[in-house]
């Protein structure tokens, strides 16, 4: 599986550790930045991740910032993206199984690193249920 990563300075430390974890599971990753914990503008890193997932170059995206809100709002500007802000296991599973989310957004200031690892594992291993949910997902795009 190919996974794109990005975020902002508040998510930098978690992002680095999660990348190492995801690589240890055998997945290919690309880090779109940021590359330090210096203050930065998350859209500069979120748009390239969203575009890479939207174009099919990557299976999923994983984004981290302080609250998770800015990254989710930005990623969801892309028509082919369904970015889900997740802060517990049930939300992660529902985002994938019911909403076919393709980008996981996590609030680094409000979850532990161990929770983040678990959320990533659940996200990449949970399948979309389709069925009654497919019709709803089909209605998301504005085009």
Q: What is the set of active-site residues?
A: 65, 98
CA distance 107 to 101: 16
Strand partners, 65: 107
Q: Contact, 36 vs 44, CB < 8 A?
A: no
* Beta strand segments in the chain, E: 2-7, 28-31, 60-65, 83-85, 103-107
DSSP assignment letter at 57: S
């Amino acid at each position: 599986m190919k996974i794109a990563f990005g975020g902002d300075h508040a998510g930098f430390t978690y992002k680095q550790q999660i990348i190492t974890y995801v690589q240890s599971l055998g997945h290919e990753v690309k880090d779109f930045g940021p590359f330090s914990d210096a203050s930065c503008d998350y859209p500069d890193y979120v748009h390239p991740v969203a575009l890479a997932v939207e174009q099919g170059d990557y299976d999923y995206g994983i984004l981290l910032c302080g609250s998770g809100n800015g990254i989710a709002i930005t990623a969801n500007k892309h028509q082919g993206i369904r970015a889900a802000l997740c802060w517990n296991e049930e939300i992660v599973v529902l985002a994938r199984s019911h909403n076919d989310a393709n980008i996981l957004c996590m609030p680094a200031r409000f979850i532990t690193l161990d929770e983040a690892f678990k959320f990533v594992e659940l996200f990449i291993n949970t399948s979309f249920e389709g069925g009654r949910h497919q019709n709803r997902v089909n209605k998301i795009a504005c085009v």
